[in-house]
Structure 1
Amino acid sequence: MNTDQIRTVEFCAQGALTGALTFPEIVGKLSQCGIERYHADYSRREITYYLEDGDSQVVSTPHPLDVTGFEFSAADVAAAVQESQRGEHSYLDFIRKTMAAGCVGYFVQITGRRVIYFGRDGDFHIEYFPDAP
């Protein structure tokens, strides 16, 4: 990744943690600089951003070390997503709620316009971007 792309992914990660940027703003900025997807890993407390050619950049995303639930609840993950879409909680609250729902991380597929949330046993839940089918 070039310097501008690295600055953008770091800016977006920080903006998510502080609440300065919304998910649509983050996706827009990342898409504009050539990022096609990213992986938020709750266990490692980091996000890996990927370019189309596979080049990547890892950014530390310190968040509370809450306990991840053992049972994956797609309904609880979906509820946390809906709260985010309505602006009812912060990104850190979103992390806490999805961890409690058994989520260990997620992939944002910017080009595919969806997010795949997954649990420790391979369970998953897919959320499409609001304007996508």
Structure 2
Amino acid sequence: MGRQREAGSPVWRATDADAVWVVCTTLPSEAEAQRLARLILEARVAACVNCGAPSRSEYWWEDRLETAQEWPLMIKTTAGRYAALETLIMAHHPYDVPEILALPVAAGAAAYLDWVRVTCDPHSAGE
């Protein structure tokens, strides 16, 4: 569990629990997206949640092609906080099968990634 900075590089790559991840989900309304974003932040399972503009989603559901307007959330967390984040999303999401995709961050601005890690650290968050 540590971070590695390449010589002369302004970015670092995290390993294990401190690895920064971007988690994506979508909600059926702006109000529900804002509500879930607030719950996520209040629980300190993420450092930041971006609520995106509505987009049209097309997908198969119960053998029918569906179209819906959805509001995306882009959530910045760490691998170590992912399980708690997923549990929270599953408990409060209105969909039976919500989209929850976790994408590891390969590289990024060191100061920003450090901020995500510190903000998501349960020891510094007062848990």
* Larger RCO: 1 or 2 (CA < 8 Å, sep 6+): 2
What TM-score does the superposition give when structure 2 sets the normalisation length? Answer: 0.26
Taking structure 1 as the reference length, the TM-score comes to 0.25
Question: Radius of gyration: which is bigger?
Answer: 2
